Structure 1
Amino acid sequence: MSPTFAAHDETSLPLSLLDADSLSEWLESQPARVQAWVKTSGFLAGFGTSLVLPSDSGDAAGALVGLGTKAARLRTRFALASARAALPARTFHLITDLDSDALNAELLGWLLAGYQFDRYKASARELAQLICPDSTDAFRLEAIAAGETLTRDLINTPASDMGPPDLENAARALAITHGARIAVTEGDDLLKQNFPMIHAVGRAASRAPRLIDMRWGETGPKLTLVGKGVCFDTGGLNLKPGASMGLMKKDMGGAAAVLGLASMIMALGMSVQLRVLIPAVENSVSADAFRPGDILNSRKGLTVEINNTDAEGRLVLADALALADEENPDAIISMATLTGAARVAVGPDLAPYYAQSDRSARALESAAATVQDPVWRMPFWDPYEAMIEPGIADLDNAPKGGFAGSITAALFLRRFVTETPNYLHFDMYGWQPSAAPARPQGGVGQATRALLAALPDLLKS
C-alpha cells in the first residue's frame, strides 16, 4: 500500500523541524522546564536526530527533529525521514519555516520512509503519522510516493513472481487504474511484427518474451518512455558467475522506473500524450539461446554482431527504441539497468544520463536539484562510435577492451533513435545497497522525480 499523509486530527502533536540556529530561537520561546529538558537530553538539532517533549503528565507533548548543518544536508538527504522510525506512533502536525521546495522534499521523504515491502512477510511496524501542511499539495506528493512505491515493489519482487507475464500484468493493472490503452506482442508474433532482437534474447526462456505498449492521453506533447524489462539475467550462454547473478531480479529496474513515472504522470493528469514501451524478457540458457558470434537483424534494419550474450539489454531496447522513433515524438526517454561501468563511474546514488539536447539537460539538472533526486550527465562521445562498429556487421553489442562501457552502450542505443532529436537515456542502478533516509535497502526509483519536475520544460517545442 502506498504511504499517505494522516487526516486532520485535533489531537495531533506539534513536530518542530529545526536547525542549530532556529533551535536557539525556539528555546528562547519555551518555558524553563522545556529548555532544561532539551539541554539535559543533549539535543543539538543534528541531522535526523529527534527528541520527544514530555507533557506535565508524562505523556508526549510534541517532538523536535534536527535538520543539521548545511554541510550535513549536502551529504545526506531527507532529515525528517531519517527521524520517522524513532518517533512514537502518534499523529503529528509540522512546524517549520522551510521554503516550499525544501519542505516538499522533506514531506516526500517522510512518505517514502513509510515504504514497506510486505508481500512475503507481514510487517508489524507501526510508524508515526504526519498531517500535510495546508500550504502544500498533498495530492501531488502522494501521487509521487505511489509511483515510487510501484517501482520499488516491482524491483523487489523475485523473478519467480515477476517474469514477463507478471510485468505485463502490472502494466495492465496500471492501465486499468488510469484508463490507459495497452497492447502486447508476445512470442513468435514478435518476429511477425518485426521485433527480432526482443525475440532472440527472450526465446530461450520458459516464459515467452513480449513487447508491452501502453498509451494514455489525447492532448499535449508526445512523450515516449522505454524501459528495459529483463526480468532475470543469467547472462545467457556467457553465463554470469553466481555472485553476479544474485541481484538480477532488478534487471527490469528500467521498466519499473518508467511504470512508476507513468503512474505519477497519469495520476496528476498531466497534459501529455504518453506512450510506454517495455520489452519484457528473461535472458536464459537453453538449446534455443542466442549465441556469441551470432549476427542479429533489428527492427531498424541494422545488423548486430553478438560478442557477449550478457549485453542483452541494449538489444531489446534497440527494437523498442526503433518503434518509438517511428512516431517522432517530442521526447524519447529510455531507462535501464544497463551497465556495470556506470556504477563503477558514479556509484549507486547518482543516475547517470545522456542527453541529445543541452536545453533538456539543463532543465533536468535544475529539477533534480530542486527535488533532491540526483542525476549526472555523461557524454555521447562521438569519437567512440568506431568502438561499436565490428566490421562484420553494422554494430557490435559488446566492444572489446572494457573501456567506456556505459558510453558505448549509450552510443549503441542512439543508433536506433534517428528521427527524434530530444532523446535522453538513463543508465541507472535501481538498487539501494544499504539503508538510507527514505530509502530502505532494496529496489529504488532513480531520476523519475527529477523527470516529472522537468517534463514541462523538456517537452517545450
Structure 2
Amino acid sequence: MPLSFAAPSSAAVPVLAVDTSQIDETLASLDAPQAAAARSLGFTGALGQAALLLDDAGRPALALAGYGDAKSRERGRFHLAAAAAKLPAGDYALDGGVPEKALASEALGWLLSQYRFTRYKSGAANGARLVAPEGIDAAQIEAMAAGEALTRDLINTPASDMGPEELSAATKALAVEFGARFEEIVGADLLDRNFPMIHAVGRASPRAPRLLDLRWGAAGPQLTLVGKGVCFDTGGLNLKPGSSMGLMKKDMGGAATVLGLARMIMALELPLRLRVLIPAVENSVSGESFRPQDILTARNGLTVEINNTDAEGRLVLADALALAAEEAPDLLVSMATLTGAARVAVGPDLAPFYTDDDGLAAGLSAAGAGAADPVWRMPFHPAYEAIIEPGIADLDNAPAGGFAGSITAALFLRRFTAGARYAHFDIYGWQPAAAPARPKGGAGQGARALLAAVPDALGL
C-alpha cells in the first residue's frame, strides 16, 4: 500500500506534541471545555497518548499527542507514530512540540505507522494521514517509507510464495518500474558461469537456485549491494530444530533490505551507478544436498571446508561478492541475516556492521542516529583470521568453538572482496514485538543509514 503524505489542506487537524514537563502550560493555553476534555481523557503527555479535542460545533479542532520527556524518548523512536495509530481517520498537520531535528524521523514514523501486510488478510490502515511538515524533504521520506514497505512485504511473505523464482520476479518488477537492467542465471547455468557455491547450496531444492543481477544508472561512482537471498533455510543435512526453523522465511531479509534500499536510491535518482546482486536459493534436504566435510571451490578459487551445512549464507554470498569485486566498485556492501551470534551480541534492534574504513564507519553511525535506523560498528578483528582457516582447505565455513561467530563470518566474507572498500551488515530483519511504526514481522535494518551515508561516502 502506498505510504504518502496528505495534500496540504486548511481542513487538516492541527497536532500538538506535548512534553510531560509542559502539560500544565499546554492545558492552560486551551479553552476551558477542551482543557476539561483532555483532563477527563487522562491526557498527561506520556508517550503514545492521544486526545482529539472538539470545537463548539463538535468538529475535530486539535489533537494532542503525548511526547513523553527526554529520558523516555531516548528509549525508543517514532514517538508520534504511537499517537497517530490512535487517532481517527482524517488529515493532520503538526503544529508544534517536535524539535526541528526530529521532524523528519517523526514524519517517517507517522507514514510507517500506516503499513499493513494485507496479502493474506485484510487490514486497512487507520487513515490518520499527515501533511508533510515544513522544512523536511517530503520526497525523500516517502521514498524511504516505500522502500521499507517493499522490504517488509518481501520478508513477511511465506516461503511457499517467496522462493527463488518469486524473489526473482520481485527484483525484475523493481527493475521494470525504474528502467533498470535485469539478468538472472539459473540452475546448471550457475556452474557454467562459475558460481559453484550458489549452486551447491541450492541444488537440493526442486526450486532452482539463481543469481539475480540488477543494474541502474549510467554515470557516477559505483555502489554494489549484495543481499543474502536464502528464501528458506532448513539447515540442510545439519537440520535445524523446529524451534529454530520457524522464522526461516526471513532468511532472505538481506535481499529484501537491499531491494528496499535500491528502491530508495532509484526513486531519489541519486547520481551513481547501482548494482544489486542476490544469490537466491532454498537450503533444502534431498539426495542432492551438499554434505558436512565436503570441500567446495568458490568463484575466486578459494576452497571452503563445510563443517556445518547450516552456515550456508556466507557460501552463496561469497560467490556473489567475488563477482562484485571483479568490477572494483567504489563501495561494496553486503547485507544478510547471517548469524545468531549477532543477535546475542546486540539484540534484534541494532544492526551490527563491519568495515575497515573509519570514515565510512563514522558516517554510518551518525547517519543511523539521524535516520532513526540504529547501527553499531563491530570489528574485523585480525587475530580471529586463524579461526576460519581449517588446514585442509583455505577456509572453514563454521569454525568449532562458537566464539565470535558474527566476526568470523564477516572475516570469511571479506576474503572474497579482493580489497574493495567494503561494509557488511549482519541484520536480524525481524521485529519480534510490535513497537511504534514497526508491527511484528519483517523489518528493514541499515537501509536508511546507508541511504544517508552514501552521498558523502561516494563524494556525491
Alignment of 1:420-435 (within 5 A): 420=420, 422-435=421-434
* Distance in 2 separating the partners of 1:273 and 1:107: 29
Instruction: Please tell me whether residue 48 in structure 1 is matched to residue 48 in structure 2.
Output: yes
| In structure 2, distance between residues paired with 1:410 and 1:183 | 27
SS at match of 2:370: helix
In 2: Cα distance, 1:281 partner to 1:125 partner? 33
Look up the match of 2:308.
308
Say whether 1:36 aligns with 2:27: no
**How far apart are the structure 1 equivalents of 2:67 and 2:55?**
24
Q: Which residue of 1 aligns with 2:18?
A: 18
**97-106 or 354-363, which deviates more:** 97-106
**CA offsets, 1:288-326, max 9 Å, x none?**
110001000000100000000000000000000001111
Distance 1:2 1:235 in 2: 36
The answer to whether the Cα contact below 8 Å between 2:228 and 2:278 also exists between their aligned partners in 1 is yes
Query: What is the deviation of 1:2?
Result: 2.5
Query: What is the rounded CA distance, in whole Å, between the counterparts of 2:247 and 2:297 in structure 1?
Result: 30
In 2, the alpha carbon distance for the partners of 1:124 and 1:388 equals 49
Partner Cα distance (2:279, 2:180) in 1: 18
| Partner in structure 2 of residue 441 of structure 1 | 440
Q: CA deviation at 1:61?
A: 2.0
Runs of 4 or more above 4 Å deviation: none
Which residue of structure 1 aligns with residue 123 of structure 2?
A: 123
Are the aligned partners of 2:116 and 2:124 in contact in 1 as well (CA < 8 Å)? no
CA distance in 2, matches of 1:92, 1:262: 30
Which residue identity does 1:194 align to in structure 2? N
- The answer as to 2:290 corresponding to 1:290 is yes
2:195 maps to which residue? 195
Q: Is the CA contact (8 Å cut-off) linking 2:254 and 2:427 kept in structure 1?
A: yes
Q: How far apart are the structure 2 equivalents of 1:255 and 1:2?
A: 21
Residue in 1 that maps onto 2:249? 249
Residue 97 (structure 1) shift: 4.7
- Secondary structure of the residue aligned to 2:318 is helix
Distance 2:124 2:214 in 1: 36
Contact in 1 for aligned 2:115/2:125 (Cα 8 Å)? no
The 8 Å contact of residues 78 and 106 in structure 1, kept in 2 or not, is answered as yes
Q: Which moved more, 1:5-14 or 1:438-447?
A: 5-14
Asked if 2 retains the 8 angstrom alpha-carbon contact of 1:84 and 1:127, the reply is no
> 2: distance between equivalents of 1:460 and 1:295?
41
* 2:231/2:249 contact within 8 Å kept: yes
SS at match of 1:304: strand
Change (3 A) 1:180 1:125: closer
Q: What's the TM-score, normalizing by structure 2?
A: 0.98
Match of 1:111 in 2: 111
Amino acid at match of 1:257: T
Q: Which residue of 1 aligns with 2:74?
A: 74
**Map of 2:400 onto structure 1:** 400
Q: Please provide the CA RMSD for this pair.
A: 1.3
**Paired position in structure 2 for 1:363:** 363
Structure 2 segments unaligned to the other structure (5+ residues): none
**SS of the counterpart of 2:280?**
strand
SS at match of 2:74: helix
Given that 1:293 and 1:305 are in contact with CA atoms closer than 8 Å, whether structure 2 keeps it comes out as: yes
For residues 383 and 135 of structure 1, the distance between their equivalents in structure 2, rounded to whole angstroms, comes to 48
Alignment match, 2:386: 386
Q: CA deviation at 1:215?
A: 0.6
CA–CA separation in structure 1 for the residues paired with 2:31 and 2:204: 72
2:454 aligned with 1:458, yes or no?
A: no
Q: 1:430 offset after TM fit, Å?
A: 0.1
Match of residue 348 from structure 1 = 348
Q: In the alignment, is residue 330 of structure 1 matched against residue 294 of structure 2?
A: no
In terms of mean alpha carbon deviation, does 390-399 or 89-98 score higher? 89-98
Q: Give the 3 Å change call, closer, same or farther, for CA 125–448 of structure 1 in structure 2.
A: closer
Kept after mapping to 1: 8 A contact 2:152/2:441: yes
Say if 1:233 and 1:251, in contact at 8 Å, map to a contact too: yes
Segments of structure 1 that go 5 or more residues without pairing to the other structure are none
Shift of 1:62: 1.9
1:376 CA displacement = 0.8
- Measured after TM superposition, the shift of residue 432 of structure 1 is 0.4
Cα pair 1:101 1:371 within 8 Å, conserved = no
Task: Give the structure 1 partner of residue 211 of structure 2.
Answer: 211
Residues 212-238 of structure 1: per-residue CA shift (max 9 Å, x gap): 111111111110000000000000010
> 1:86: how far off?
1.0
What amino acid maps onto 2:367 in structure 1?
A
- CA–CA separation in structure 2 for the residues paired with 1:135 and 1:249: 39
1:33 positional shift: 2.5
Post-superposition offset of 1:167: 0.5
Aligned partners of 1:326 and 1:419 also within 8 Å: no
- Counterpart residue type for residue 392 of structure 1: I
1 CA distance for matches of 2:100 and 2:63?
Answer: 22
What amino acid maps onto 2:165 in structure 1? Answer: P
Q: Secondary structure at the match of 2:352?
A: strand
CA distance in 2, matches of 1:95, 1:202: 54
User: 1:238 — aligned with what?
Assistant: 238
Q: CA deviation at 1:437?
A: 0.5
Q: Equivalents in 2 of 1:312, 1:205: separation in Å?
A: 14
SS at match of 1:107: helix
Alpha-carbon separation, structure 2, partners of 1:170 and 1:34: 50
Worse-superposed segment, 233-242 or 44-53 = 44-53
Q: Distance in 1 between matches of 2:9 and 2:170?
A: 35
Contact 2:314 2:397 in 1 (8 A): yes
1:129 aligns to what SS in structure 2? strand
Report the Cα offset of residue 22 of structure 1.
4.2
The answer to whether the 8 Å contact 1:112/1:145 transfers is yes
Residue range with higher mean Cα deviation, 334-343 or 15-24 = 15-24
| Counterpart position of 2:180 | 180
Aligned-partner Cα distance in 2 for 1:125–1:295: 51
Give the alignment's TM-score, normalised by structure 1.
Answer: 0.97
Q: Which amino acid aligns with 1:258?
A: V
**TM-aligned CA deviation for residue 30 of structure 1:** 2.3
Alignment deviations for residues 359-378 of structure 1 (CA, whole Å, 9 cap, x no partner): 10000001111111101111
Which residue pairs with 2:280 in the alignment? 280
Query: Which secondary structure state, in structure 2, belongs to the residue aligned with residue 52 of structure 1?
Result: strand
Q: 1:124 to 1:148 in 2, by over 3 A?
A: closer
| CA deviation profile, 1:38-95 (whole Å, cap 9, x unmatched) | 3343322111211111222334322100111111111011111011221111221111
Q: Distance in 2 between matches of 1:125 and 1:335?
A: 30
8 Å contact kept, 2:107–2:133: no
